[in-house]
Structure formats: C-alpha cells, structure tokens
Amino acid sequence: MHLPSFPPPNPPNTSDIMSSLIPTKRVDLLAPYMALDQGSSVQAEYIWIDGDNGLRSKTMTLDESPASVADLREWNFDGSSTNQAPGDNSDVFLRPVAIFKDPFRGGANILVLCECYDNDGTANKSNHRAHCKKVMDAAKAEEPWFGLEQEYTLFDADGQVFGWPKNGFPGPQGPYYCGVGAGKVFARDFIEAHYRACLYAGVKISGINAEVMPSQWEFQVGPCEGIVLGDHLWMARFLLLRIGEEWGIKPSFHPKPLKGDWNGAGCHSNYSTKAMRTPGKGMAAIEAAIQKLEARHLDHMAVYGEDNDQRLTGLHETASMHTFSAGVANRGASIRIPRHVGAAGHGYIEDRRPASNIDPYRVTSIIVETTILNV
C-alpha cells in the first residue's frame, strides 16, 4: 500500500487551515441524516479535560439508555495525543461521572462527563475533580453553594476578535456592557444558541450578559452545591466550544486576550455555606470566611488561573493580585459582599480573583478547604 509521506509535500498554510474552520456543519446536507431512525441505540459522547485545560470527546454506541452513570462502561484513549501520558504508557481511562442530554444529536442521545485515571488507578494529572469530590464530601454538612460567572471572548476564524473592524478597533468601552443595538453587540445568535443548548442539556445556567469589552460575554452557572458546580461549568464550556464549530467562532478563556485598555476576563466565584445563608448569623459567618481567605491569599492565587497577573492589575474593575481586600459593593476588591447581602445580613460572597481560564474544581475545592476544612 502506498503511504502518504509525512509531512505532506505541500502542507496547507495556516490561513487555509483557518478558513476551513468556517462552517464545518452544512445543516442542509446533514438534516436528512439526523432525521433517520436510530432504533434503540444511543450515542454517548464521552467528554474529558485534557492536559492543556482544554476539552476532548469521542463517541460510543450504547444498546440502550443508561439509567445512571453506573450503567456506563469505563473507556480509554491515547493520552500521548492529549498531553496526558507518555507514549510508552499511553492508555488513560475514562470514568463516567455525569450525564447530560445531547443538544446536537437530540433524542435519547447523551453527553457523558468523565474523570481521567492512569493505568495504576491514580487520578490523571489533568483530573482535579477526584480531589474536589473528596473535599466536597468532607464538607457536605455545611452545604457549600457556588455560582460562577464565566467570562470569555469571541475570536473569528482568522484569529481576530469577532466582529471587530479588520483594520482597526471598535470605539472605546462604554456602550457594550449589556449592550443593545447594532454595533454595540456581537454574535447574539451564537450566544442564544449556547444558552438554549445549556437549558436543553440540563446545565444549570442562571443567566447571560454581554461584557464591557465588545465581543466579550458572560454566562453564569449556579447556584450549585459542591461538585455539581464544576461538572456543570465544564459542560457549559463544552457546549460553547462545540457550537463555535458551526459558527466558525473560537471562544477564548484567556484572562487578558487583548493588551491595552480592554477589560480582561474573569470567573467571579460566588460562594455561600448554610451558616452564611442563615438570617441572624449569616454576616458573622461571612466575616469569618473572609478572614480565613485573607490568610491564604497566595495559596488561592496559585490556582486562580494562568496569566491572571495580566488581568489583576488594579485597573478595569479588578484588585491588584498582590494585596487582599474585601468590601460591600466594592468591585475593586478581592472579595465583594453584594449590597443586598450587606443589607439583609446574610447571603453569599463574591471572590473576584479567579481568572476566566480556571479549573472550577480547583477553585471550589480550595475555597472549601480554606473556609470549612481549615486546611
């Protein structure tokens, strides 16, 4: 058999690859096939976090719908192709942990979030969920709730911010936050598709808004208790990236995607315990939690996202990453107590330090370790 030489004699140049990112899904061609009867078989999309904080997935056919994750088979993949294992010991194992409905294939088809394990049974280096699950189980009695605000920036197939003029910049920030009207809002159709796909899938998305920088958006997930927040946030990210394939849009989770006078992107992490939510004693619990968070500021910053130093400058509604601060209604503080929480005397706090590219399992687990488990 004639094997193609490698690399191919005429490798496509980068711009060819980029333009092939433009609509990969021909809805008109695909529709009749998606309407075909698939019998009782179910397509299960196994999804996992790779070695570079990205997502991967592959599909398995099931004979019937699983009643729970316990009915789903463990699977494996080549970890040397995902920066998760060396080539000479490359098998990484996928253990299903959560099931969502599949908005792409519809019907009884499912999305399956998985944890990654190495051959020796230990959690893969990319698997921060395993530790998070132990932490959340240990803190169960305090009922930790999280609501995360995922900010992200849209890029087009050419690597430019989506919708920005090709040879210049849009007008300065001001009209874009929660903007309405042509020229003030970008890719609303893509955002709507993602929102509805989350609702269909069963992701607990609590809202969306356009952000301060044009073509930057936010969705919120929560409140979710314990491990559920990380599961739902990762699934919401999967849907965003996957739908982007169809629009030719590349969402970026980088905390400072553009240098200069443009806002960075964060993942504000709202948090409460049963005590913090209790009328009469909530504020005392909130103040105690803030003191503990202050004492471990640097430990938290270490897991609050790569390149977060480019974002936490003290400008653009951020606090400096070198100092810890807290205050009611203060969007320049590390921790903000929302005005209505201050007024009611109970509720939740907002940790404004985490960057948009965090692993939510790491952030939610360290918050619980610091404030509940006293690590």
Q: Can you give the binding site for ligand ADP, defined by CB under 6 A?
A: 145-147, 149, 206, 220, 222-223, 268, 270-272, 277, 347-348, 350
Q: Does 218 bind Mn ion (CB under 5 A)?
A: yes
> In a 3-state reduction of DSSP, which class is residue 156?
strand
CA distance 148 to 360: 8
206 makes contact, choosing from Mn ion, ligand ADP, none, with CB < 5 to 8 Å by partner type, with ligand ADP
Contact set for Mn ion, span 244-273 (CB under 5 A):
268
The one of ligand ADP, Mn ion, none whose footprint includes residue 347, by CB under 5 to 8 A per kind, is ligand ADP
Q: Residue 176 binds which entry of ligand ADP, Mn ion, none, with Cβ cut-offs from 5 to 8 Å by kind?
A: none
Question: Residue 336 Cβ, how far from ligand ADP at the closest point, in Å?
Answer: 7
**Mode of pairing for the β-strands spanning 110-117 and 91-101:** antiparallel
As given in the structure block, the two tokens for residue 204 are: 């607990």
Q: Which of residues 106-165 bind Mn ion (CB under 5 A)?
A: 149
Say how many C-beta atoms besides its own lie within 10 A of residue 238's C-beta: 23
3-state secondary structure of 14: helix
Task: Report the distance separating Cα 109 and Cα 18, nearest Å.
Answer: 30
Interatomic CA distance for residues 113 and 123, integer angstroms: 15
Residues 267-306 binding Mn ion (CB under 5 A) are: 268
Min. distance of Cβ 207 from ligand ADP in angstroms? 6
Question: Could you tell me the two tokens for 289?
Answer: 């939690």
14 in Cβ contact with 318 (< 8 Å): no
Q: How far is the CB of 347 from Mn ion (least distance, A)?
A: 14
**Quick one: what does residue 150 bind among Mn ion, ligand ADP, none, with the CB cut-off 5 to 8 Å set by partner type?**
none
Q: Degrees (nearest 5) of the Cα angle 231, 236, 238? A: 95
CB of 149 to ligand ADP, least distance (A): 4
Closer to ligand ADP by Cβ: residue 156 or 350: 350
Which residues in this chain contact Mn ion in the complex, by CB under 5 A? 149, 218, 268
